[in-house]
Amino acid sequence: MFPIRDHNPSGRTPYVVYALIAANVLIFLSYVNLMGNERALQSFFFDWALIPARLETGSGYGTLLSSMFLHGGFMHLAGNMLFLWVFGDNLEDQMGHGGFALFYLACGIGAGLVHVLFSPGSIVPTVGASGAIAGVMGGYLLLYPKARVDLLLILIVIIRIIPVPAWIVLAVWFAMQFVGSIGSDAAAGGIAYWAHTGGFVVGFLLTVPIWLRLGGPGFWTRTAGHPAHPQAEYRFSQSRIPKVPRGRRPGSRKSPWG
């Protein structure tokens, strides 16, 4: 189950979102040939990924930025870019291009620092844009809690698109990350739950001044938590596969003998 789009159209072209997606994809392609060579990949990540133990020695601060544009595989990259695509354009519309770019980088750096704080001494390289994107989700939750988000639900052979309020999607996601943070050993590697949790909180807090400028609780009263403009409506085309009556198989004939 994951979001594929929201019903919150943007008023301007999200050039920064496009640029961030392009940068992440191009950088991934620049080292994808290392994926088959674990030693070469580890050496590459040692230079550019976030390693908490290195920051504790007073070096490697540049990796707080560089690690945001690295990913451990195609699915890691695709998942992060999907979330950025769904939630990023509306914040860029509200913050402006430059403001959103600074917001995104601040969320990513903040997420990295939270990860370092909760994984002292770790020598495990950490990569991914998910901390920054978690910040985008935190900001979205504050500004558009009731915007509808379409979830693609896949249960073995059942595929459905379900529209739900954004606050449900984002609150459930944050709760999962927070629970994962408590139950994980950040220094041992795996999913950087604290980076996700920290990035979400940083993004939420950085968006508070914008929310207050818009009127704070009054903004929610005016919009009821929905976008301040009409939400987009999507039509789903009906399947062209003919329905077969229950008890009959396609192409079968009923025997005259019953």
Kindly write down the DSSP assignment for every residue of 48-116, as one continuous string. Answer: HSB-HHHHHTT--TTHHHHGGG--SSHHHHHHHHHHHHHHHHHHHHHH-HHHHHHHHHHHHHHHHHHHH
CB contact at 8 A, 28 and 71: yes
Domain span holding position 51:
2-223
Q: Is residue 245 part of a domain?
A: no
Q: Is residue 58 part of a domain?
A: yes
Q: Which of 19-33, 77-91, 150-164, 239-253 has the lowest mean pLDDT?
A: 239-253
As for how many domains the chain has, the answer is 1
Q: Is residue 121 part of a domain?
A: yes
**Closest to 15 measured CA to CA, from 95, 87, 88, 97:** 97
Q: Is residue 184 part of a domain?
A: yes
Q: Is residue 250 part of a domain?
A: no
One-letter identity of residue 230: P
The structure's pTM equals 0.85
pLDDT at 239 over 60: no
> 104-147 pLDDT, tens per residue?
999 999 999 999 999 888 999 999 999 999 999 999 999 999 99
Q: Is residue 119 part of a domain?
A: yes
* DSSP letter (8 states) at residue 11: S
Domain of 54: which CATH number?
1.20.1540.10
CB contact at 8 A, 106 and 91: no
